[in-house]
Amino acid sequence: MKIHKEGRRILFFTLLALLAANLLLFRYNAENSGFNKVFAGISVIVFLTLLQFFRSPARRLFTHEDLIIAPADGKVVVIEDVEEPEYFNDRRKQISIFMSPINVHITRNPISGIVRYFKYHPGNYLVAWHPKSSTKNERTTVVVESEAGPLVLFRQIAGAMARRIVWYVNEGDEVSQGEEFGFIKFGSRVDIFVPLDTEVKVQIGEKVKGGQTIIAQLKTDAPSLF
């Protein structure tokens, strides 16, 4: 398993800091060996936690032009019809995936197509499951004109722990389903907005894998066999 590029600098400097702290303790606090051993154990746990957070596992990606694929690992926490006020200004079906600190935090394109809209919004850091997090928190909004025709909006949302959202797409880019479009550091949420007649393939509470789990199917003139 690889380490994602967004974590390499953090892991390197964290490792240096932990090594330095432990060396100083064992040199200047040798008489308190019990404390030193506990601190060393905690240091290992901290580093391993960061290491698993920034893991980038190999994925066999599932693609099809009229299927919406999960943009991230996590749990489905919202499936409802809502008013989307930023781009569509009408009612859309929203599917939200909550990413806990132990999930892989790579975010992937749920559909192939052309990026018609992109905007970064600075904001607050409410907990990711808060009802207002999708409009008040730091976030990015991406709208892709899918190869199947319908427009799909997806949004990275920072949470209480997440303090940096990274994105790799801009307006006019051609994106491929399953490829990385960004990374959210230390836990958060991804929202997907699709037409109301889209058929949802997941349920509340279901765990999904980014790039692999089919979460919905767009209504098109020539639907797939799924």
Ramachandran region, residue 149 (left: φ > 0; alpha: ψ -120 to 50; beta: rest): left
Cβ burial of 196 (10 Å; 0-12, 13-18, 19+) is: exposed
Residue in 43, 112, 146, 188 annotated catalytic: 188
| Strand-pair partners of 81 | 93
| Terminal Cα distance for the chain, rounded | 31
Sequence-distant (≥ 6) Cβ neighbours of residue 221 within 8 angstroms: none
Q: If you ran DSSP here, which 8-state letter would residue 150 be given?
A: -
Given a contact cutoff of 8 angstroms between Cβ atoms, the answer to whether 93 and 80 are in contact is yes
112 is catalytic: no
* Closest by Cα among 55, 106, 76 to 213: 76
* Closest by Cα among 171, 21, 184 to 97: 184
- Tokens for 26? 């064992």
* Strand spans (E) along 11-150: 55-56, 67-69, 74-84, 90-99, 106-108, 113-121, 139-146
- Catalytically active residues are 188
